[in-house]
Amino acid sequence: MSKGRRTLLKTVLGVVLGLALLCGGGLIWLVRSVPSPQGDLIEVDGLAGVHTGGAWVWVVRTAEGAVLVDSGGATEPTALLAQLERMGLTPDDIHTVLLTHGHSDHTAGLGAFPEAEVIAGPGEAALVRGEKPPGGALPRMFSGMAGHPWEGQVREARDGEVLVLGGEAFQVIHVPGHTGGSTMYLWRDTLFSGDSLGAFGGTVGLLPALFADDIDQNRASLHKLLDLEFARIADGHGGLEENAKDKLHAFLGG
Ligand SMILES: [Zn+2]
């Protein structure tokens, strides 16, 4: 190909990408197409993670079916449903969805689980139900384009509460900052950290400030995690990070 043609091709591609970005659907498509560095399926110690619609959904088996942590960014979560089927689970076996926060890439799949009780952190129900816009610049841009928000009930858990779900205990840890009601859930030695603490493949840290309501508050909230015992985090976009408490110490400078 001649240099002139290559330049033309690059220009055309640039214009197409630019147009896709300018119209919101393209932007959503782009974000939700970003693969996770850890692939699209993780299975470890009774825990399964499925990357669906641009975010990780975590499946915890219980005596009565399963709990999901977040529901991903796809309104029709095909990959997630296929994985549940491989685990011998139907959508009706999901008795609880624990939301780490109300951004649409973590809530869009809720409609696929009609039997599930939806639980979120303190003050987060309005965001989950689309009754208030997200505070972060990028999530606000996405929110109008994310389809219908969840119209069902949302129970708000209390900070420190221990939820016993199908015989499995999940401790609720309110970590405001990424959103006002951002919450983590500690199950056994795994901390489901949502977008409040990212797994970066060797380190842990904060997601970019453009996604957060208040990045300084997000950072400050992380200090309370130092009082918890956990070995790994399972986050919203990176995947799993082992030795996460040591890495959190390093990140926070202590
Ligand atoms: Zn988020």
pLDDT computed for residue 147 by the predictor = 66
Domains of the chain in start order, with CATH, are 34-252 (3.60.15.10)
Question: Ligand 1 centre from 106 Cα, in Å?
Answer: 7
Question: E-strand spans in the chain?
Answer: 41-44, 47-52, 55-62, 65-69, 94-98, 117-120, 155-156, 162-165, 168-174, 183-187, 190-194, 198-199, 204-205, 232-235, 240-241
Residues forming a β-bridge with 192 = 185, 234
Residues, CB within 5 angstroms of ligand 1 (ion): 103, 195
Distance CA 214, CA 135 (A): 8
Question: Ligand 1 centre from 101 Cα, in Å?
Answer: 7
User: pLDDT per residue over 44-73, tens digit each?
Assistant: 988 999 999 999 999 999 999 999 999 999
Query: Torsion angle of alpha carbons 160, 208, 241, 97, nearest 10°?
Result: 50
Question: Ligand 1 centre from 28 Cα, in Å?
Answer: 14
Structure tokens at 158: 């209390």
Query: Torsion angle of alpha carbons 139, 143, 148, 154, nearest 10°?
Result: 50
- Whether pLDDT at 127 is above 90: yes
- Whether pLDDT at 86 is above 90: yes
Question: Ligand 1 centre from 10 Cα, in Å?
Answer: 32
CA distances from 64 to 43, 93, 95, 137 (A): 20, 7, 8, 40
- Whether pLDDT at 232 is above 70: yes
Band of residue 19 on the pLDDT scale cut at 50, 70, 90: very low
CB-side exposure of 220: number of CA atoms within 13 Å? 7
Question: How many CB atoms lie under 10 A from the CB of residue 159?
Answer: 14
**Token pair 């399963």: residue:** 66
- Whether pLDDT at 24 is above 70: no
Q: 3-class SS at 22?
A: helix
Distance CA 152, CA 172 (A): 21
The alpha-helical segments, DSSP class H, found in 23-174 are 24-33, 78-86, 104-107, 125-128, 137-143
Q: Give the residue-averaged pLDDT of 85-108.
A: 96
Question: Ligand 1 centre from 212 Cα, in Å?
Answer: 7
Question: Ligand 1 centre from 5 Cα, in Å?
Answer: 41
Q: What are phi and psi of 242, to 5 degrees?
A: -80, 170
Question: Ligand 1 centre from 6 Cα, in Å?
Answer: 38
Band of residue 92 on the pLDDT scale cut at 50, 70, 90: very high
- Based on C-alpha coordinates, what's the Rg of the chain? 19
Q: Give the residue-averaged pLDDT of 98-124.
A: 96
Q: Do residues 177 and 214 touch, judged by C-beta distance below 8 A?
A: yes
Question: Ligand 1 centre from 178 Cα, in Å?
Answer: 7
- Whether pLDDT at 29 is above 70: no
Mean pLDDT computed over every residue of the chain:
89
Q: What are phi and psi of 124, to 5 degrees?
A: -95, -10
* Whole-model pTM over 0.85: yes
pLDDT computed for residue 46 by the predictor = 86
